[in-house]
Structure 1
Amino acid sequence: MGCKMKLIFRYMKKYKVAVFAAIFIKLIGTMSELSLPYILEYMIDYVVPSKDLVQVVIWGLIMFAASIFCRQFNVMANRKAIYNAHKVSYDVRGDLFKKTANLSGDSFDEFTLPSLISRMTSDSYNVQSAVQQLQSLCVRAPMMLLGGVIMTLFMDFHLAMILIVMLPFLIGVVLIVSLKGIPIYTKVQQRLDSVVRIMRENITGIRVVKALSKADYEKRRFSRANEEMAKSDIRAGTVMAIPGPFMQLCLNVGLTFVVIFGAKRVNDGLMQPGIILAFLTYFNMITMGVMGLNRIFMSLSKASASADRIDDVLKGNDDWIKTDEEPVEGDDFISFENVSFSYGKELNTDNGFAGGKREKALDNISFSLKKGESLGIIGPTGCGKTTIINLLMRFYDPDEGSIRIDGKSISSFDKDELRSKFGAVFQNDMIFKDSLYNNIDFGRNISKDEIAKAIKDALADEYINALDKGLEYQADIKGANLSGGQKQRLLVARALAGRPQILVLDDSSSALDYKTDSAMRKAIKENHKESTLILIAQRVSSVMGMDKIMVMDNGKCIGLGTHKQLMESCSAYRETYEMQTT
């Protein structure tokens, strides 16, 4: 548990002064609470028998003051603990978000989106809960336990030995169960990942589920995942609940022996009767301390599992490792040289696969573009078209070969420097719940004139101007209140507004009719001549006017040239053209 808790202690270190203040205040409050039974015992055994009313009032006021003192300090300590815990969880979530945004493509694929969501929500909450308890219960519970034992030893050694004999058994059970709880809670969080994944799939694809009348099927699928999580959670709760009844039984048995032997010692004149009452109170405090330890270990078991999952993400591979490769002289603006790439990790028996090499998404791809040139990429689904863009924008690094922009390897650019060259529209791109204006500007502080030009070139001005609020019209999440064609034109406007050096359009006109698609491409060609265009499409009509066309199949380039050249040299391209134009 210690190694896994390092992450929590690392984040707490930033607030060490505030944390120590909360612990110190809690310590004083707990010590005040421990003094109450002793004061009560002194009053019963010595003050009351003296029949001195003034002494009774004085000690009564002392006990009242100690109670108020205890209450106020405990409240102050709890508030500080809650505040510090929220600050730590704030930092954890912030770092998780930043790291997630910078994860390499392989790392992101490995963790999966649902798992990253649950780590940022459920796991960070478990860490927050642990930090809070480390400042409150981790002080109060041991103090109640040890302080209660010390006070009972001070009052009567013989009765105190009854409790001391039981403590090793109680603490041993708590430790053993807690160690078993960590892997169980890890499994609970993994089951939660599955539940989140299915929920996300259903929320995202709710229209498809309804259209195909598969609501019942999805309910059963969710129920299975939910049931598996519930079983894991119940098992974890059952295991962690074992110490509670055992400790309660032991302490009640000990309490019975204290009453029996205490009464005998009072009868024998070996101790005062007030000590028995004080012992009963201290036993309750000790019980609370042991139960508090149980809660602490339960919380820390959850937090250890969660901290381990969070640390895995924070240690994940970044998507940016800058190199110092020398630039290459030449006229080419973009060049791919013998580039090969495969998604995922190597297949091996350790991961449960049969072994062997990964299937290549790209195999020995080479092409070049000069500034202002255009490239159309066409081919069947899954042939590697989008992968070319993923590598060019360095979402992934190639396994072999080199990719250069303006003679420089893309790995030698700073992230912002490289990404600022691009304006891109991806498949299933994101429209945010915000105004159309903010969706286009996207925090880049682009001038209104440039945005107006981009809207016009994307042929989005007609429908935007027809809206009551124009550019201030509020888009729903994922543009649910816009048609497919409206969303695509809005996304193209976003890409054009920044006047990018490289314009990437990945299947960005699939929802447009041929006339609108042709008009938009014409406007882009005339008004954005400075941009090097890479256009991925399924229609030959969308790419036939490009300076170069690359035909892809199964990760390989099977044709590269102009429309006229490919009609003569590439049978796959010619067949696609004839199929779409006949």
Structure 2
Amino acid sequence: MKKVFYYLKPYLPRMTLGVSIKFAGSLMDLLLPWILSYMIDEVVPKRDVGLIALWGAAMVLASVVAVVTNILANRMASWVAQHTTESLRHDLFSKISYLSCSQIDEYSIPSLESRLTSDTYNIHQMIGMMQRLGIRAPILLLGGILITLTLDPVLTLVLVCTLPFIGFAVFTISRKGIPLYVDLQRGVDSMVRTVRENISGIRVIKALSKTEYEKERFAGVNAEVVRREKKAGMTMALSNPLMNLFLNGGLTAVIIVGAFRVNSGLTQAGKIIAFLSYFTIILNAMMSITRMFVMYSRGSASAARIAEVLDTPIDLKVSPAEQEKTSYHVEFDHVSFSYRKKEYNVQDISFRLKRGETLGIIGATGCGKSTLMSLLMRLYDADRGVIQIAGRKLDSIPTEELHTKFGVVFQNDVLFADTIYENIDFGRHLPREEIEKAARCAQAMEFISSLPDGFSHMLTPKGTNLSGGQKQRLLVARALAGRPEILILDDSSSALDYKTDSLLRQALRQEYSGVTTIIIAQRISSILHADHILVLEDGRELGYGSHEDLLKTCEIYREISRSQMGERGAGQTGPGTPVEAECCKEVS
């Protein structure tokens, strides 16, 4: 809750004004029964119509003031709640954006989405209700008790005897309720995860006719959320009937004692009517406090989850280090890494690239190819070994500077619901000529020109109105447009035909010859002419060298080459290989 109070600080003056207005309105509410009692016991017996009209006008004025002040204070409370939640949501989104990939893996994306949406909504509700009811309800409760003490101390003591029971019930129920709401939010995380999986994989689900299966799976997760919400709701709902029991029991005792006191001449009928009015006010105030505790329980559980993210320390710290003199641009020196810190996903990887050289990485699915690129971009920190760029260790380069060095196409990359131009520019405000050059090099200009709107053509979310090959070409254009030092293409040509793939590689050599390029591929033809080729298996380096060297020294690479290019391709390179010969013929 400390985090919430921190975000409320800028709005304290407005909150203070709202509290003052709410206080004035609450006093008017408390004044009305007293005026009614005074009129019944003192004014009406005098039979003075003018005096009755005067006090009646006072009641009307008090009512109007109470209504106006409460509306005004509630509007101010809503304004504070909206802007506080807006600031909190902004900072939470910003914090999530700067979390390292390992931290995001630890929290999980569905959990972060839930904290950014439902948890911030719970805090919004809590802040608004605490301002609306957190001031008014205690004033009405304490003010009602104090005024009834002036009316009839004996009857007030009868009522006050019920308050310890009510306080104990509220405290006990709230203490049990908060952990239940934390558990409920974890259930919401699971439901969000299931929904994300279904939306992302909707085509696969439909293609395999698994709609009913997924409906049953969601029904199970949904039922679990309902069960947790029901348990928390039923626990917190005990407060209402318990309060009604204690307060109505007190009211019964008040009526009985009051009847004897009126019959004995110890009190007046107007005071009894006023006392019952104040009792109703006190009852409603206690109900409001109960609602406030329920909302506080949800809000505090959500606040703890949000504070957990906001208080997460920076994982990838920048450590000052001197730049070494080296002729190499990218260096991996005995690098090992594990996602779960149990066994290495990549182990003892070493290679060196000079500026402008090309490295091809090939290997079976899950062998650690993409992991190496994540380490190079410092999305994760290596557990062992050293990674350097131009003689500088990765952990000595500020994140903003480091990431500007890269142009990258991820294996599962994303296009946004915007124009083709904006998807390539990606908010970098690049010159149009650079964007057009990148599109030509990526072999995307042909299909862009054929569209009615050209670069202004609007894409659907994730670029679903483009083919797989068109999307990959746009993603390559985005990576090239910023003129990076290091270009990473992670399986970015899998949807391209051989001719387009060959044209792309030729354009890269001609237009971006000074860019150090790392190509992760499943096809040998995509990395055939790379300066160096790294062969991985189960996270280990099985071979490193040129295509010709690996055909002689690496059995795994030779098998891949034989399976993809035939017997002739396994022992011959260049245009003589079947695949390359066809590509070269088409290009020429």
Unaligned runs of 5+ in 2: 567-588
**Aligned counterparts, 1:375-454, within 5 A:** 375-454=359-438
Amino acid at match of 2:545: G
Give the structure 1 partner of residue 502 of structure 2: 518
Displacement, 1:319? Answer: 4.6
Give the structure 2 partner of residue 123 of structure 1: 119
Give the structure 1 partner of residue 562 of structure 2: 578
RMSD, aligned α-carbons:
1.0
User: C-alpha separation between the residues in 2 aligned to 1:210 and 1:259?
Assistant: 68
**Aligned counterparts, 1:31-70, within 5 A:** 31-70=27-66
User: C-alpha separation between the residues in 2 aligned to 1:405 and 1:210?
Assistant: 46
User: C-alpha separation between the residues in 2 aligned to 1:115 and 1:101?
Assistant: 14
Displacement, 1:51? Answer: 1.2
Displacement, 1:316? Answer: 2.2
2:423–2:478 contact (8 Å) kept in structure 1: yes
Give the structure 1 partner of residue 578 of structure 2: none
1:490 aligned to 2:486?
A: no
Question: TM-score under structure 2 normalisation?
Answer: 0.95
Give the structure 2 partner of residue 537 of structure 1: 521
1:528 aligned to 2:512?
A: yes
Give the structure 2 partner of residue 139 of structure 1: 135
Matched positions, count: 566
**Aligned counterparts, 1:358-369, within 5 A:** 358-369=342-353
Displacement, 1:116? Answer: 0.6
Give the structure 2 partner of residue 562 of structure 1: 546
Unaligned runs of 5+ in 1: 347-357
| Residue 12 of structure 2, aligned match among 9, 16, 19 | 16
- The change in CA–CA distance for 1:317 and 1:109 in structure 2 (over 3 A counts) is farther
User: C-alpha separation between the residues in 2 aligned to 1:101 and 1:473?
Assistant: 29
1:319–1:396 contact (8 Å) kept in structure 2: no
Where do 4+ consecutive residues of structure 1 move more than 6 Å?
Answer: none
1:458–1:490 contact (8 Å) kept in structure 2: yes
User: C-alpha separation between the residues in 2 aligned to 1:530 and 1:38?
Assistant: 88
Give the structure 2 partner of residue 231 of structure 1: 227
1:314 aligned to 2:298?
A: no
Give the structure 1 partner of residue 237 of structure 2: 241
2:338–2:344 contact (8 Å) kept in structure 1: yes
**Aligned counterparts, 1:70-469, within 5 A:** 70-344=66-340, 346=341, 358-469=342-453
Displacement, 1:406? Answer: 0.9
User: C-alpha separation between the residues in 1 aligned to 2:309 and 2:374?
Assistant: 21
User: C-alpha separation between the residues in 2 aligned to 1:36 and 1:307?
Assistant: 39
Amino acid at match of 1:168: P
2:469–2:495 contact (8 Å) kept in structure 1: yes
SS in 1 for 2:162: helix
Amino acid at match of 2:280: N
SS in 1 for 2:175: helix
User: C-alpha separation between the residues in 1 aligned to 2:31 and 2:328?
Assistant: 82
Displacement, 1:320? Answer: 3.3
Displacement, 1:313? Answer: 1.1
Displacement, 1:317? Answer: 3.8
Amino acid at match of 2:450: A
Q: Deviation digits for residues 468-504 of structure 1, max 9, x if unmatched?
A: 1111111000001100000000000001111111111
User: C-alpha separation between the residues in 2 aligned to 1:173 and 1:301?
Assistant: 15
1:102–1:319 contact (8 Å) kept in structure 2: no
User: C-alpha separation between the residues in 2 aligned to 1:427 and 1:40?
Assistant: 76
SS in 2 for 1:401: strand
Amino acid at match of 1:255: L
1:188–1:233 contact (8 Å) kept in structure 2: yes
User: C-alpha separation between the residues in 1 aligned to 2:20 and 2:3?
Assistant: 23
Q: Deviation digits for residues 108-148 of structure 1, max 9, x if unmatched?
A: 00111111111000000011111112211111111121111
Amino acid at match of 1:124: T
SS in 2 for 1:88: helix
User: C-alpha separation between the residues in 2 aligned to 1:260 and 1:315?
Assistant: 57
2:165–2:246 contact (8 Å) kept in structure 1: no
Displacement, 1:263? Answer: 2.0
1:195–1:225 contact (8 Å) kept in structure 2: yes
SS in 2 for 1:471: helix
Question: TM-score under structure 1 normalisation?
Answer: 0.96
